Structures are given as C-alpha cells and as structure tokens.
C-alpha cells in the first residue's frame, strides 16, 4: 500500500457566508489548499467532494464535476461523496485509497456545505432527520437533537455526571474557537455573558447561572440548551494528498495519514446494547490505531464531533482517552483543554468552529495539520506530533477516524 501524505490545506471562514454559493466556497478552500501545496502547475488525478445535501440546500447535483471544471483541474476524475455528516471523513478516506492503491498520484479532497441562507423553519432539521430510521424512528418525530437530549439524560444518570460538565465542554470549545480566526464564533461564552449583562438582559454570579438561564440559554432538546449544540454554518475545507514518497518535493512539512478506520452501527438506536457507547467509534478508532501502530496514549491532540456537547464526552471515552463514564468529568477537570492531558477540539470543535456538515470531517483534519505543523497560532498544542479525528454520521451509525502524524 502506498503511503499517503497531506501536503496542503485550505479552510474558508466558517459562519454565515452571505453572497457566496456552495461552489464558491468549495473553490475558495480548494484553491487555498492547492496554493499551500505548491501544486498549482501540476495535474491532479482525482477530486473528492464531501457534501451532505447540495441538492436539498443549493439545488445542485454533480458538484464534484462542476468544481473540477471551475478550478481548471480538467480532466481530473470527480466524485461526490454524500455520507451524511460524515461526508467529509468519507471523502478523505476515498481520496486516501485513490493514492494508496496507486490509481492516483495527486488528489484534492474538499468538504463543504452552504446552509445559512435557508430560512424555511425546520427545513434543515427535517432534512437531517432523513438520517433516522424510516419506520422505527421517524414516525415518532425524533430528530438528531432529540436523540442527543435522550442520550444526555441517560448518560448523566448512569454515570452520575452533571449537566454543568457538558457546559464546561462548550465553554472550552468557545475559548478555543475564539483563538481560531476561521471559527464561526469568535467569542467566548464569557464574552456572551458580559455582553448580555451590558445589554441589561440579566445579571449572573457565574457562567453556569448564565448557562442555566432559560432566557439566555433556552432548552432545545431537554436537558440540552442552545449553548450545548453546534450552530448551522457555511464553510469548506480542503486537503491536497499525494504519495508520501514524493511529498517532500512539494513541501517541507508533509503530514502522514497513518491510520484510517470506518465502522457502522445499528440504524435503529434502540437496538444498541448500550446507547452511551459508540460501538462504531470503538471499532473504527481501533482500526486506525492498529494501522498506525499507535495507542490512544500516543495522541497529542484530537478533533471530535461535538455536534452536541454530550458527544464530545462520549467520544472521548470510546476513542480510548478516558474510561467509560469519565469523559464529561475529565472535561470538567480541564484534562481536554489546550495544555491538558489530551487537548480536544483546539479548533473550537463543531460548537464554536461551526458545522457545515460536509466540511466538518475535512476541517478536523485541517486543524490537525495546522497543529502538527506548529501553525495553530494562539491555540497551538505544544509539540503536537500525532492526532486523531472522529467524524460522526447519522447518530453514530457511521463513524470515521483518521490518524495523522508528522513524518
């Protein structure tokens, strides 16, 4: 199997990108990655686009072929991977396999979504709910936020954890996001509280009081409140991959993709033995560690899929960083902060960087590349040499882990 290196990255600002279309932002991230990889004069063999719903959100099909033409990569092969919120990770995996197999030498992977222009109430939540089970779940009106609420209740009870510990994850991720110029939110939750006080909306002794106030932080999916849930965002992120043997021709600091895993769990969540365990993550992260000959203890940094803050807690356990039931407590204890035992989501995560569905799995890898190159600025994890991601599709029935390390 050919070894595969990442030689360039691109990342638009995430957030409300007004006046731009999906193809515009895919182009922007792609061209940035191509420039970063010094391959502007090279012929790309293939292009992978990860995007969940360009058809429903942007009235576009064939986005991968359209992109290839628009950024003048003709006649490169073009594939669109539509794999739910794991579309980005899936695109990285398939781009990896294109090079690992020897079918391609130079590959562009880009993930993106343009969603904030959609004004019809409930349209996005309903569309995302097409991921739930058609017969066993959807007729009951469940959506992904409602699953997250139920999971939170069970987790808090089973492991004697506190909702405030999940708030700690949101607080951390907003602090990190405020250090990431590409993040959707550039403010900490402390900033939001100060601003609310200044505007006379209330007065709170501490941040937990602010976060438990129904006015400033309403319940969305009981017990989860607004600040426990990621926003709807626009954005795109891109990677240039090549055979690791020729990576140093293009850049001084290529990063190796040394492990990839992907696994599926039951579609119907009720059928899982233990809803608080993400079996697909256990399996796919083990695959990635095994392939890279690494252990969870070897990881210096991780980007997890905190679409809901409960997920970061659970994922931090199932990816091997903490024992079952101790993820939320570990976050509360500061172990996942930059400078902690295992920094999680230095980018700000989905909570603060934002969650343009198809972009997320790629953006997670981009953040790790910045960290491993030592280019993460104020949120740099000191001396980071290896990192891992969790890109989460459906409600944990499709999970991908990508492990990267310095060469």
Sites of contact with a second copy (CB under 8 A): 1-2, 21, 23, 46, 52-53, 55-56, 59-62, 64-66, 68-70, 73-84, 90, 93-94, 96-98, 100-103, 127-128, 130-131, 133-134, 260, 262-268, 279-280, 283-284, 393-394, 397-398, 400
Query: Which residue, 59 or 140, is less far from a second copy as judged by CB?
Result: 59
Long-range contacts of 129-135 (CB under 8 A, 24+ apart): 131/84, 131/85, 131/393, 131/394, 131/395, 132/394, 132/395, 133/267, 133/268
Residue 290 CB, nearest distance to a second copy (Å)? 12
Residue 196 CB, nearest distance to a second copy (Å)? 36
Residue 265 CB, nearest distance to a second copy (Å)? 7
Among candidate residues 73, 365, 102, the one with its CA nearest the CA of residue 244: 102
Under 8 Å between Cβ of 288 and 388: yes
DSSP E strands, 45-125: 46-50, 77-81, 106-113
Query: Which residue, 82 or 406, is less far from a second copy as judged by CB?
Result: 82
Query: Which residue, 46 or 380, is less far from a second copy as judged by CB?
Result: 46
| Residue in the structure block whose two tokens are 């091997």 | 320
Query: Which residue, 76 or 221, is less far from a second copy as judged by CB?
Result: 76
**Pairing state of beta strands 255-264 and 219-221?**
unpaired
Residue 83 CB, nearest distance to a second copy (Å)? 5
DSSP string, 304-347: ---SBHHHHHHHHHHTTSS-TT-HHHHHHTTTTSTTSSS-B-TT
Query: Which residue, 56 or 197, is less far from a second copy as judged by CB?
Result: 56
Query: 349: how many CB neighbours lie within 10 A of its CB?
Result: 32
Query: Which residue, 261 or 349, is less far from a second copy as judged by CB?
Result: 261
3-state secondary structure of 18: coil
Among candidate residues 373, 319, 355, the one with its CA nearest the CA of residue 364: 355
Residue 379 CB, nearest distance to a second copy (Å)? 31
Query: Which residue, 58 or 380, is less far from a second copy as judged by CB?
Result: 58
Residue 5 CB, nearest distance to a second copy (Å)? 15
Under 8 Å between Cβ of 25 and 112: yes
Residue 124 CB, nearest distance to a second copy (Å)? 12
């Amino acid at each position: 199997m050919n070894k595969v290196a990442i030689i360039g990255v691109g990342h638009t600002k995430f957030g409300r990108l007004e006046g731009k279309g999906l193809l515009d932002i895919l182009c922007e991230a792609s061209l940035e990655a191509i420039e970063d990889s010094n391959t502007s004069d090279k012929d790309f063999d293939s292009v992978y686009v990860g995007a969940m719903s360009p058809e429903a959100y942007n009235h576009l099909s064939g986005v991968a072929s359209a992109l290839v033409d628009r950024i003048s990569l003709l006649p490169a092969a073009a594939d669109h991977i539509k794999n739910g919120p794991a579309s980005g990770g899936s695109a990285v995996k398939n781009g990896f396999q294109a090079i690992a197999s020897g079918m391609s030498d130079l590959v562009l992977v880009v993930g993106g979504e343009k969603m904030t222009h959609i004004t019809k109430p409930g349209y996005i939540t309903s569309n995302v709910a097409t991921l739930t089970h058609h017969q066993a779940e959807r007729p009951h009106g469940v959506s992904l936020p409602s699953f997250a609420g139920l999971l939170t209740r069970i987790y808090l009870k089973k492991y004697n954890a506190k909702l405030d510990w999940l708030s700690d994850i949101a607080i951390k991720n907003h602090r990190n996001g405020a250090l990431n110029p590409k993040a959707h939110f550039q403010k900490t939750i402390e900033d939001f509280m100060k601003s609310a006080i200044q505007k006379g909306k209330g007065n709170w002794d501490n941040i937990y009081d602010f976060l438990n106030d129904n006015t400033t932080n309403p319940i969305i999916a009981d017990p989860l409140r607004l600040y426990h849930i990621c926003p709807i965002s626009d954005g795109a992120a891109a990677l240039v991959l090549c055979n690791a043997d020729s990576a140093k021709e293009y850049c001084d600091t290529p990063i190796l993709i040394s492990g990839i895993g992907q696994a599926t769990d039951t579609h119907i969540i009720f059928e899982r033995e233990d809803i608080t365990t993400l079996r697909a993550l256990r399996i796919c992260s083990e695959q990635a560690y095994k392939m890279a000959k690494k252990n969870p203890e070897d990881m210096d940094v991780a980007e997890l899929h905190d679409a809901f803050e409960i997920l970061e807690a659970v994922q931090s356990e199932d990816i091997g960083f903490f024992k079952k039931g101790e993820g939320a407590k570990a976050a509360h204890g500061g172990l996942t902060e930059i400078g902690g035992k295992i920094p999680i989501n230095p980018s700000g995560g989905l909570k603060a960087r934002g969650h343009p569905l198809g972009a997320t799995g790629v953006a997670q890898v981009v953040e790790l590349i910045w960290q491993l190159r030592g280019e993460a600025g104020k949120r740099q994890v000191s001396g980071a040499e290896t990192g891992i991601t969790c890109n989460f599709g459906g409600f944990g029935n499709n999970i991908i882990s990508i492990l990267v390390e310095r060469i």
